[in-house]
Structure formats: structure tokens, C-alpha cells
A and B are shown apart, each in its own frame.
Chain A
Amino acid sequence: MFRKPAGREWVCLGLALVLYGSAVVFVLARGLSLS
């Protein structure tokens, strides 16, 4: 069974996802504008 995140872990997971997601968006946006 995979453990469910608890308390602070949810917040950190969310933050990491937001950071990663926005980075991917930046990369995509730059790639599109360059081509």
C-alpha cells in the first residue's frame, strides 16, 4: 500500500508540482516562440 501524504507533506508535494509544472510551461512557451 502506498502511504498517503499527511499535513505538511501535502503542501510540499503541491509546491513541487507547481514549480515543476510552471517550469514545463516556461520551456514549452519558449520553444513555441522560437520556432
Chain B
Amino acid sequence: MAWFVYIKGAAVLVELFQYWVIGLLIAAALVVFVPWEGVKRKMGYGGLRSTLAATSAGAVIPICSCGIVPVLAGMVEAGIPLGPTMAFLVAAPMLNVPAVFITAGVLGWRLAIGRIIGTFAIALSVGMVLSYWQRRERLLRRFVRLSVTPHLPPDLRQFGFKVATRLAGNPGKLSTQALAPGQEEKLWQLGEAGVLDRDKGGMWFLPRTSRLGSGPTAACFVLPTGDASLGFLHGLRRLAETAWDFFLQLNYYLVLAVLIAGAIKVLLPTQAVVGLVGGESLNSVTVASFVAVLAYVCTYVEVPTALALIQKGMGGGATLAYLLGGPGLSLPSIGMLSGVFTPRVLALYAGLSFVGCVVAGYVFNLF
């Protein structure tokens, strides 16, 4: 049994490794080349406009649910607000230009148009709910940019992020006891790296920060950058280093996802499912969404598998739910995302997307 899971998992890894690498490179490019401060200042907490922009960007970019995780890690690291990030996460694997044409060619234009409308509806609602939620939660953080040397180990970088978030608020200076009790050594290490400084009274403060805003539209983030203007070659080198860094950080979740996918392939027989997704009832739509979440369906694979299910009697709405949920939401990718988001955000994302798929399928059946 375990042996089969292992073999299937290895097969999945071979299938998705290329997308994984592409995703890592895109993520690194996003972190290194995009002027995030400007983007962030425009986005704020992410209203309708920035969520719509993120959704459209996701809808055009052909990236699979397995390749998206590193990209998201890059976006989160760069401090993009939760709403647009999540809208991008939903839209990117569910929809892309080639997939629309494949869907239209194989399954007909009705389903292709349903897919476009469904994706935008789900991504926008997920993005807006999360934006609203983030604003209501009052995650009021100062917008502080820290200059950290790229050699800073990740745990120290994370610690620096935590400390800086606290220091960025009032009063701006804190003693070791108030800032991080019992972790003075780590504070000193950050001091040596130039992230923190200490005055004569033993109070820690942030020496080189650029406060770009102080209103509620701000957030704290740590950019592993030392200088803003990079030459092209230098930039490429930094890109490779950042991609490698992401690779090391996310490897655990890749292995986890691959093993989950392998286990599902062994444990979930397609034959047993086919009988449940026929007809046009709400029941069949729900089952199709559920199957889509459990099964690991990479972008472009969903159309042929959907065709196979249609030939066995799957209804129109159930097909749409499967097309949306299959590439968009899957247990392995949720496993990978747990490395990037908190469980609450993840549950909100998964729940909203699932409900969105069911509703889209049900509405499709009404027409």
C-alpha cells in the first residue's frame, strides 16, 4: 500500500516538477524586479479595483495550482494585501487563455463562457471577503521597509519581521524585556546585520527604515534587499539566489503535497465516483466539486478528464464545478499553501472557493 502511494507520488512529482520550477522563477522575478513599494502604496488593503486587477492578471497567466504556491510566497513576502493575493490564487489556475480555447474546443462554448464568468465571480468574491475581513480585523501595521542582507538566515529574518512589526508602532523604542524576553542574543544578531540598533539606554529601535505611510492602509514587510537599483546581470544572480531560497523553504510542502496526491490516486477509484455525478441535481454538483478538490487535477488535464466523465453521464453544472474546482482547489495545493498562510485564511479560502464552485455549477444548470 505504502509502496503504491510512493510510486504514484513519484509520478506526480515528475508531472509537476517543471511547473514548480517555473513557479519558483516567476516568484523570484516578482520579488527581485517588481517595484513593490509603488504597487503596495496603490493597493492599500485591496479594494475592488486592485482585486479585479489581480483576478485579471491571474486569469491571463497560464499557471497551474502546483506552480502557483511559490509565486504566492513571493507575493506574501513582498507584502501584497491578502484580498488581491487570494483573488490571484483563485483565478490563476482556474482560468487561462489556452485553457479557455481548449475548453471551448472540446466541451463547447457554453461551458467555456461559464468557466470565465464562474472564475471571475469566485475570485472576486474571495478577494473582496478577505479584503473586508483584513480591514475589519484591523491588522494595522506600519508600512516599514527593512533592508536585510540576503545572507540572513530565514529564522532570523522571520524573527526580524516580528520584532520590526512591534517596533514600527509607537513608541518606536522598546527594551529587550518588552520586545523579546530572553532572546537578547537574537536581537544582537539582528543588530550586527544592521536591522536593529540600540541606544545608550539599552532600547532597541529600527535605524534604516523608510516609512512610506502611517495610515491604516499600511502593512509591515521585510524585503531581503540591500540596494534598489540592480544591474541586469546582478539582478539575474539575485533572481537565482531568491529562487533557490524559496526552493529550500517550500521543499517540505512539495514533498507533503506529492505524497498526499499519491495517496489520493491510490485510495480514490474513479469508477466509484462516476455513478454519483450524473444528472443535474444539486447533489451531483456538490459531489463533482468534492471530487475535484480531492483529485489532483493539473491545469490542462481537467478538460480530458472532464470529457471522460461527461461520456459517463456527468451533467453540465457538475462539469463546470469540476472544471473550476479541479485545477483551482486541491488537497495537495492546500497542503503546500499551509506553508504560506495561516490556517484561518486557508480555511476561508478553501471554504469560499468550494461554495463558489457548487453555486456556479448550480446556476449553470438553471440556464
* A interface, CB within 8 angstroms of B: 1-3, 5-6, 8-9, 12-13, 15-16, 19-20, 22-24, 26-27
State which residues 236-263 of B face A: CB under 8 Å.
240-241, 244-245, 248-249, 251-252, 254-255, 258
Q: Given A9-B248, A16-B254, A19-B6, output 16 extra A-B contacts at Cβ < 8 Å.
A: A1-B150, A2-B240, A2-B244, A3-B153, A3-B248, A5-B248, A12-B254, A12-B255, A15-B255, A16-B13, A16-B251, A19-B9, A19-B13, A22-B6, A24-B14, A26-B7
Residues of A within 8 A of B13 (CB): 16, 19-20, 23
Question: Is there an interface contact between B11 and A23, defined as CB atoms closer than 8 Å?
Answer: yes
Q: Give the docked Cα–Cα distance between A26 and B13 (Å).
A: 13
Question: Is there an interface contact between B252 and A20, defined as CB atoms closer than 8 Å?
Answer: no
Question: Is there an interface contact between A8 and B252, defined as CB atoms closer than 8 Å?
Answer: yes
Main secondary structure of the interface of A (DSSP, over half): helix
B interface, how many residues as a size bin?
20 to 34
* B interface, CB within 8 angstroms of A: 6-7, 9-11, 13-14, 17, 150-151, 153, 240-241, 244-245, 248-249, 251-252, 254-255, 258
| Number of A-B contacts defined by CB within 8 Å | 51
Known: A8-B252, A19-B255. Is A1-B151 also a contact (CB below 8 A)? Answer: yes
Residues of B within 8 A of A27 (CB): 14
- Pairs A–B under 8 Å by Cβ, sample size 8: A2-B241, A3-B244, A5-B248, A6-B153, A16-B251, A19-B10, A20-B13, A26-B10
- Chain B, residue nearest A21 (CB): B10
Q: Give the docked Cα–Cα distance between A22 and B153 (Å).
A: 31
User: Distance in Å from the Cβ of B16 to the closest Cβ of chain A?
Assistant: 11
Q: Give the docked Cα–Cα distance between A16 and B9 (Å).
A: 10
Q: Give the docked Cα–Cα distance between A15 and B6 (Å).
A: 11
Q: Give the docked Cα–Cα distance between A27 and B9 (Å).
A: 13
Q: Give the docked Cα–Cα distance between A12 and B13 (Å).
A: 14
- Chain B, residue nearest A9 (CB): B248
Lowest 8 A-B CB distances belong to which pairs? A23-B10, A12-B251, A12-B252, A23-B14, A9-B248, A15-B255, A19-B10, A19-B13
Residues of A within 8 A of B245 (CB): 3
